[in-house]
Amino acid sequence: MTPTSGGTTAPPRPVADIARVGRDVLDRVGTAVVGMERTLRLALATVLAGGHVLFEDVPGLGKTLAARSLATALGLEFRRLQCTPDLLPGDVTGSFVWDPGTREFSFRPGPVFAGLLLADEINRTPPKTQSALLEAMAERQSTVEGRTFELPRPFHVLATSNPVEYEGTYPLPEAQLDRFMLRLSAGYLEPASEVEVLNRRIARRQEQTEIDPVVDAETVQALQAGVESVDVDPSIIAYCVDLTAATRSHRGVEVGASPRGSLALLLAARAVAVLDGRDYVVPEDVKEVAVPALAHRLTLTPEAWTMQVRTADLVAEVLDRVAGPTSTR
């Protein structure tokens, strides 16, 4: 069996259509997920921008439910990979197995061959296995025993992880972190939202939540093509570069964000603008995505790490210090 890229290229959707469909998707996901509106909005923006999302929170806050619900609402072929310490790279990419009928080896695809892969608790599997996703996330292909297979289009990874302080977790390699466009964290629910979670569980009389797709893979590609058609003012591009460059000279940062961080800022900001119904990006769009786009790409100095400085706070400090364009329209 040889996986194929699948799907045809659909014409771009206009901005108004993308914003409307985005609202429909978020409303549908909101029937299953409570109190994560901003997190889910940014996750949807990441998918529309063609990127991958990392949900990082303590256990029990609904990371997996949010990722699965978003995948279902987008109508993408969905596979779940439960990451465990004994997981091998071949369990992710697939492998060649002997077929007694044909008396030759045939390729058996792994869960990475899907429109949307949910890598659940990704940092509970060793770095060697985590690295099996690097090629897939960057190049939308997977090489197994010297043969390269294209992945479906679109292809996205929604991964969940627990803080590294928790027992049984491995730190994600820097190269892997850099391939996630945004790292999101919802935090604990407000009391009213938590009450709503409990009330909904009582009302549906079962553990599982069920939602129906809003769009399909072809429509998602059309939405992504529409986002790609949005022009960006040169001053916004310069602002993204200035923010990323400022992380590299910060006194608490040993290794700053790479150029991929600048690109993540720009692409995510463009998708956020489209979700708001605009065909242009304003500085506030960049500011909205700056922390989730840059914080996970920073390596702290030993002194900052000892003082338990958070990379998110450093990015917020950079946002305060770097002046943005006053107007782009």
Residue 210 is encoded by which pair of tokens? 């069920």
Report the pLDDT value the prediction gives residue 6, as an integer from 0 to 100: 46
Report the pLDDT value the prediction gives residue 222, as an integer from 0 to 100: 95
Report the pLDDT value the prediction gives residue 203, as an integer from 0 to 100: 87
Report the pLDDT value the prediction gives residue 243, as an integer from 0 to 100: 96
Residue 82: how many CB atoms within 10 A of its CB? 14
The fold of 229-321 is: Helicase, Ruva Protein; domain 3 (1.10.8)
49 three-class SS: coil
pLDDT at 234 > cutoff 60: yes
pLDDT at 327 > cutoff 80: no
Report the pLDDT value the prediction gives residue 329, as an integer from 0 to 100: 64
Please indicate whether residue 1 or residue 225 has the higher confidence score (pLDDT). Answer: 225
List CB contacts of 133: < 8 A, sequence separation 6 or more: 92, 112, 119, 157, 176, 179
Domain ranges of the chain: 15-205, 229-321
> Taking the C-alpha atoms of 281, 286, 287 and 291 in order, what is their torsion angle to the nearest 10 degrees?
160
Domain 15-205 sits in which CATH superfamily? P-loop containing nucleotide triphosphate hydrolases (3.40.50.300)
Res. 24 pLDDT band, cuts 50 70 90: very high
This prediction has a pTM of 0.89
| Whole-angstrom distance, CA of residue 83 vs CA of residue 308 | 28
Res. 129 pLDDT band, cuts 50 70 90: confident
| Residue 25 near residue 45, CB atoms below 8 Å | no
Res. 117 pLDDT band, cuts 50 70 90: very high
Res. 167 pLDDT band, cuts 50 70 90: low
Out of 2-6, 118-122, 191-195, 269-273, the most confident range is 269-273
pLDDT at 7 > cutoff 50: no
Res. 154 pLDDT band, cuts 50 70 90: very high
Out of 5-14, 183-192, 279-288, the most confident range is 279-288
pLDDT at 165 > cutoff 60: no
Res. 4 pLDDT band, cuts 50 70 90: very low
